[in-house]
Chain A
Amino acid sequence: MKILSLSYFLLLYALSFYLFQEKTKAQSIKAGAEIYQDFCVQCHLANGEGVSGVFPPLRASDYLLNNIDLSIAGIKFGLKGKIVVNDEEYDGVMNNQGLDEEEIADVMNYILNHWDNSSEAFITKERVEQIQKSILQ
């Protein structure tokens, strides 16, 4: 009986761990790759190179790598008006894509760590939740 209840609690413990665990960074990047193919690749292209003067690059993009919160806000709320990326000016419109906070975190982790990009940062759903539209002004 003792063994039975012990194994029951052990199982419960393992199950809760399995159900409530946070995604690892690698899992988030993997999920982000799928989001990227679905929502981003048409404009920013398969290698993140964008189109000069029209769609800013994500690969080796100083704007992205140095302004993580602004980049999150751009995806979360949409982005329009002038930005400068790698010394080139862009003045377009990126629609709010309707992604939820977890999807935004995933795609951020992907673009921050794919191609030749790498970032120490691990973007979480909680960080995306905290980003306010006001930082874009």
Chain B
Amino acid sequence: MKRFLALLFCNLFFTLGCAQENTPAIETPTSVNYSYETIVGDIDIPWGMAFIDNNELLVTESSGILYHVLNGKKTSIEGLPEIYVRGQGGLLDVALHPDFTNNKIIYLTLAATLGGEQGGNTSLYKAKLVDQHLEEVALLYKATPNTKKGQHFGSRIAFDDQGHVYFSVGDRGNRDENPQDITRDGGKIYRLNLDGSIPDDNPFVSNPEAKHAVFSYGHRNPQGMTVHPKTGAIWVNEHGPQGGDEINEIRKGKNFGWPVITYGINYSGTPITDKTSDPTMEQPFYYWVPSIAPSGMAFSTSGIYKDWQDNLFVGSLKFQYLERLVIQEDKVVKREKVLDKIGRVRNVKEGPDGFLYVAVEGKGILKIIPQG
């Protein structure tokens, strides 16, 4: 009886004392069957990357440099638009047009001021890559209003196979006004046609007050985005507050809840809301407690890595590893550390050669090589 009481007490203590770690618990494998090599080094914050070919890629450095990397050698590309570097803002993601081979068009997200009031906000640009510089630079979208807040610019870029480009903008440090209001920018996933025009079937085009580029809302700070290899759906990971980072499968016109529902709390430890669900809002596909600070997202589809087929990979800025998530029947059933203690993992991509490439702050781009 005494023992039972002690156990009960312990249990109560832990339940009340700290937020429960969300299952499944992260595993650290005792032996690994892979190694890595650095394919390009010496990049402080390698934010975005886009592969042109097996040995050729574009890499953004958040302070405002766009690198062209060929066989490990990097050169800076000229002709970038003006970039607002402040807090988490700067040069963000880079992506190739689905028909890049023929038209040489790339897309960039970056923080910009563009006149008007002080501060900045996230913008989406398109440009043509000619040799080592950009031509026909065109602004496709600029979130407003500008603000000097340092947080939550997003931003990632992805494409579906129906001629759309998607990008994310975080709540810009204004969670009470932006994410739940479709007439305001921030805290949204956006969808445009590849030329920057608004698709006729975007969810809020019939509302004259709404931002017509909005595809889904109620997001906090999405910094990972990829297309599910089987369903074609846009998948996103986003930074929550302390506890409550999320993976979301994006659906048209849906509200993903921030800040009305969340599994997280303020950095100060005080609650944001007591609600984790609402019938009018989407539940995350998965949420991380504690937060891992997720950035970058990729599925492994190539079969190059034994046992990693169709697994999801997400960078952890906070715990400095690449997380491998095994998904079965729409549930995360296993989580494992890859490249443990490698450094702050900013991004992960599957290259055209099927290998996984990992961007690590202060290091550069690493290629994971299977062994045995």
Query: Which residues of A line the B interface, CB within 8 A?
Result: 37-39, 41-42, 45-46, 51, 54, 78, 80, 91-93, 95-99
Contact = CB atoms under 8 A, between A and B. Distances in A.
Contacts of B86: 97-99
Contacts of B149: 38
Contacts of A45: 267
A74 B267 CA distance: 23
Interface in B150-177: 150-151, 173
A38 B318 contact: no
8 contacts: A37-B267, A38-B149, A45-B267, A80-B362, A92-B362, A93-B361, A93-B362, A95-B90
A98 B45 contact: no
B44 interface: yes
A91 B341 CA distance: 12
Interface string B74-98: 0000000000111101100000000
B17 to A, nearest CB: 17
B267 A42 contact: yes
A96 B150 contact: no
B344 A51 contact: no
Given A80-B44, A95-B44, A98-B89, A41 B267 contact: yes
A45 B269 CA distance: 10
Interface of B: 44-45, 62-63, 84-87, 89-90, 149-151, 173, 267-269, 318, 320, 343-344, 361-362
Given A93-B45, A95-B63, A39 B87 contact: yes
A91 B267 CA distance: 24
B115 to A, nearest CB: 18
Nearest to A38: B150
B243 to A, nearest CB: 13
B273 to A, nearest CB: 19
Nearest to B241: A42
Contacts of B320: 54
A95 B62 contact: yes
Contacts of A99: 86
A87 to B, nearest CB: 19
Closest 9 CB pairs of A and B: A98-B86, A39-B150, A93-B362, A38-B150, A98-B85, A46-B268, A46-B267, A93-B361, A93-B44
A92 B87 contact: no
Contacts of A42: 151, 267
Looking at B150, B173, B344, B362, the one whose CB has the most chain A CB atoms below 10 A away is B150
Contacts of B268: 46
B150 A92 contact: no
Contacts of A38: 87, 149-151, 173
A95 B150 contact: no
A45 to B, nearest CB: 7
Contacts of A41: 267
Contacts of B151: 38-39, 42
A26 B102 CA distance: 61
A40 B62 CA distance: 17
A35 B294 CA distance: 24
A37 B268 CA distance: 10
B318 A51 contact: yes
B192 to A, nearest CB: 28
Contacts of B267: 37, 41-42, 45-46
A111 B88 CA distance: 20
Contacts of B85: 96, 98
Contacts of A95: 44-45, 62-63, 90
Contacts of A96: 63, 85
A99 B119 CA distance: 11
Contact of B344 (A46, A92, A97): A92
Contacts of B62: 95
A37 B149 CA distance: 10
A59 to B, nearest CB: 14
Given A80-B44, A92-B344, A97 B150 contact: yes
A41 B268 CA distance: 9
Contacts of B343: 92
A54 B362 contact: no
Greatest chain A CB density within 10 A among B84, B86, B361 is at B86
A124 to B, nearest CB: 21
B305 to A, nearest CB: 27
